[in-house]
Amino acid sequence: MGIGVTAGAVAVGGVATNASASERGASDSSGAADSLVFDPDDYTEVTESIADAAGDKHTVVYRFYKPRDYVTNPSDSTHQSLVVSVPVKIDGKAVDASRAPVVFANSVGAYMPSSVAKATGVGQNELEMTGMAAPGGGGSASGAPGGAPAGGTSAGGPSGGTGAVNGMVNLAKLAVVAGYVAVEPGARGRSLTDSSGAYYGTAPAAIVDLKAAVRYVRFNRGRIPGDTDRIVSTGTSAGGALSALLGASGDSPLYDRYLEEAGAAPASDAVFATATWCPITDLEHADGAYEWIWGTNATQSTGKTVDQTVSKALRTQFAEYQAGLRLRGLDGYGPLTARNYDDYLLRTYFQPSATKYLAALSETDRTAYLKKNTFITWSGGRATFAWDDFLTHVGARKKTAPAFDAFDLSAGENNEFGEDTTEARHFTAYSLANDTTGVTGKRLASDIPGLLRLMNPMHHIEERNRNRSRHWWIRLGTSDSDTSPTVSANLAAALDNLGDDVNHEYYWDQGHATNVDPGDFITWVARVCGYRKR
């Protein structure tokens, strides 16, 4: 059953938002610094050949609004700025994007910084991975450096997609060629340090920046072209986690002091719809979720299984956490537990995913695929297989154990929780207790619980945040061992249980950061936003 809007909140474009915030956002510029007023006449007209979701090229004329700060007190303008792209002609035909959806496309990967400071056109948001060491025992926050797709699975399935950038279809370009408005925000990330060596882009900097950017867009309603009440957030990997967090935490007061310090615009930071690909999220429970599925698979780096004592301990943690969530599966499945999650994934996602993939092949190609992958039974136009055979099919896992809070503090997520001049910190009691770096103390740092709350969409969903998105697009590859499939499945189930509109699928044989149905996504945006081209 859906959640109603209580007194004291108003519905803005289908999103319940804090009344005072939305009222201020709808007012004129007198209540905010002049630097946050968007000038609709300050643009460069760009003509570019852009491929649509099907790969067909189109001549697109669009207005490109150069990088501008989205806060009045930026700690780093190189990253705390955004660009806007508005189509005006596609293949010579005029486009009226004045009421088009706004696709808010973040390019964060690995919780690293991203920047549009050098952008001269749409789709030039840069993910910064320079200078980062190769991942250690725990792997990195996004998997492959630079967000590249993991691909190359044992199944030999394809990876990536049309117009892939950083291993992901460029959603900003797809938005513009579809006639939508694209907003690309930069954001601070975990590798940034100041002159004293202090880290200033670690949690919760990235989500604060994305919220501030949304506030900027909504504050400039009527000045920024497009329907600013129909913002659709997108992101992949760590960016997918941030997109999910942005959608789940709309107008949460937990972020107010950070937004005030940055000088964010006085407006709502709720987004209408949320799209997330392979989100690296629910970090405090991610180690257990990872071991639950990949615990007995050999690792890519060693060809051996991980320490089974560690793996079993983490699997036990997952079972306890999953029971505590009290989630019910989609399509009337019933309670989800560690004991039946394999059956749930097979029935609800993996077998339908394989069926969809095989049905789309020619008879010749399907026969060849089934000959190579004999564990699949193809009967009556439906694929079935056993769980253990599926795990064997995927093959070696990407990360060691623990996958996210590494005992030696080598995981990207450890750096995400760094503080001051401390590069990396533990964020789970289990890894702290088993630390191999000499960290002392029996308790996590006092600020860690609060930071986890700020960085996890599940917390906001559990609290039934009224200002969350109500429309969700969630995708993950079945061969993606950068994370656990239960992470996105739990996200989908939690939202579904609240009555939200959830569109969740897994791509068969796909690795990390892949997108094989971009056209369906573009169509979905129009449908949930109720948009028809003029």
Rounded Cα distance, 502 and 100, in Å:
22
* Ramachandran region, residue 211 (left: φ > 0; alpha: ψ -120 to 50; beta: rest): alpha
Closest CA to 21 of 8, 30, 35, 36: 8
Tokens 């990967």 belong to: 109
Q: Return the pLDDT at 157.
A: 31
pLDDT of 361 > 60? The answer is yes
**Number of domains the chain is built from:** 2
Last residue within a domain, chosen from 395, 430, 461 = 395
Across the range 294-315, mean pLDDT stands at: 97
Per the structure block, which two tokens stand in for 35?
């630097």
Domain assignment of residue 446, yes or no: no
Which tens digit of pLDDT belongs to each residue from 191-208? Answer: 999 999 999 999 999 999
Rounded Cα distance, 432 and 425, in Å:
9
Kindly write down the DSSP assignment for every residue of 44-68, as one continuous string: EEEEEEEE-TTS-EEEEEEEEEEEE
| 370 and 224 fall within a common domain | no
Closest CA to 483 of 226, 287, 265, 214: 287
pLDDT of 94 > 70? The answer is yes
| 361 and 238 fall within a common domain | no
Tokens 């600020």 belong to: 447
Q: Which helix or strand (DSSP H or E) is residue 94 part of? A: strand 93-94
Q: Return the pLDDT at 442.
A: 82
Q: What is the pTM of this model?
A: 0.90
Domain assignment of residue 429, yes or no: no
Domain assignment of residue 306, yes or no: no
Identify the band that residue 16 occupies on the pLDDT scale cut at 50, 70 and 90.
very low
Query: Lowest-pLDDT range, 31-35, 49-53, 168-172, 474-478?
Result: 31-35
SS3 per residue for 285-312: HHHHHHHHHHCCCCECCCCCCCCHHHHH
Closest CA to 221 of 36, 466, 11: 36
For 319-348, b/e burial (b = at least 16 CB within 10 A) is: bebbeebebebbeeeeebebeebbebbbeb
Q: Return the pLDDT at 32.
A: 55
Query: Exposed/middle/buried for 23, CB within 10 Å: 0-12, 13-18, 19+?
Result: middle
Rounded Cα distance, 247 and 233, in Å:
7
| 74 and 192 fall within a common domain | yes
Across the range 311-333, mean pLDDT stands at: 98
- Residue 525 maps to which CATH number? 3.40.50.1820
Identify the band that residue 8 occupies on the pLDDT scale cut at 50, 70 and 90.
very low
Which tens digit of pLDDT belongs to each residue from 503-526? Answer: 999 999 999 999 999 999 999 999
Per the structure block, which two tokens stand in for 286?
């991610």
SS3 342: helix
Domain assignment of residue 416, yes or no: no
Q: Return the pLDDT at 35.
A: 85
Domain assignment of residue 325, yes or no: no
Domain assignment of residue 294, yes or no: no
Q: Which helix or strand (DSSP H or E) is residue 485 part of? A: helix 485-497
Q: Return the pLDDT at 10.
A: 33
Q: Return the pLDDT at 483.
A: 97
Closest CA to 279 of 454, 529, 512, 6: 512
Per the structure block, which two tokens stand in for 379?
């009967």
pLDDT of 30 > 90? The answer is no
Identify the band that residue 440 occupies on the pLDDT scale cut at 50, 70 and 90.
confident
Strand pairing report for 231-234 and 102-105: parallel
Rounded Cα distance, 479 and 440, in Å:
37
Q: Going by C-beta distance under 8 Å and a sequence separation of 6 or more, which residues neighbour residue 534?
A: 96, 99
For 373-468, where are the alpha helices, taking DSSP H only? 387-394, 412-416, 429-433, 448-455, 457-462
Q: Return the pLDDT at 141.
A: 53
Is the peptide bond preceding residue 204 cis, with omega within 30 degrees of 0?
A: yes
Identify the band that residue 54 occupies on the pLDDT scale cut at 50, 70 and 90.
very high
Q: Return the pLDDT at 320.
A: 98
Domain assignment of residue 232, yes or no: yes
Q: Quote the mean pLDDT of the chain.
A: 89
pLDDT of 22 > 50? The answer is no
* Ramachandran region, residue 278 (left: φ > 0; alpha: ψ -120 to 50; beta: rest): left
In the chain, % helix, strand, coil (3-state, to 5) comes to 35, 20, 45
Which tens digit of pLDDT belongs to each residue from 152-185? Answer: 333 333 233 333 334 567 899 999 999 999 999 9
Tokens 């497009």 belong to: 226
Which tens digit of pLDDT belongs to each residue from 138-156? Answer: 344 544 322 333 333 333 3
Last residue within a domain, chosen from 360, 395, 430 = 395
Rounded Cα distance, 87 and 90, in Å:
7
Identify the band that residue 34 occupies on the pLDDT scale cut at 50, 70 and 90.
confident
| 494 and 365 fall within a common domain | no
Q: Which domain holds residue 383?
A: 350-395
Kindly write down the DSSP assignment for every residue of 9-26, as one continuous string: EEEETTEEEEHHHHHHHH
Q: Are 279 and 168 in contact (CB under 8 A)?
A: no
Domain assignment of residue 1, yes or no: no
Last residue within a domain, chosen from 335, 363, 395 = 395
- Single-letter residue type at 156: G
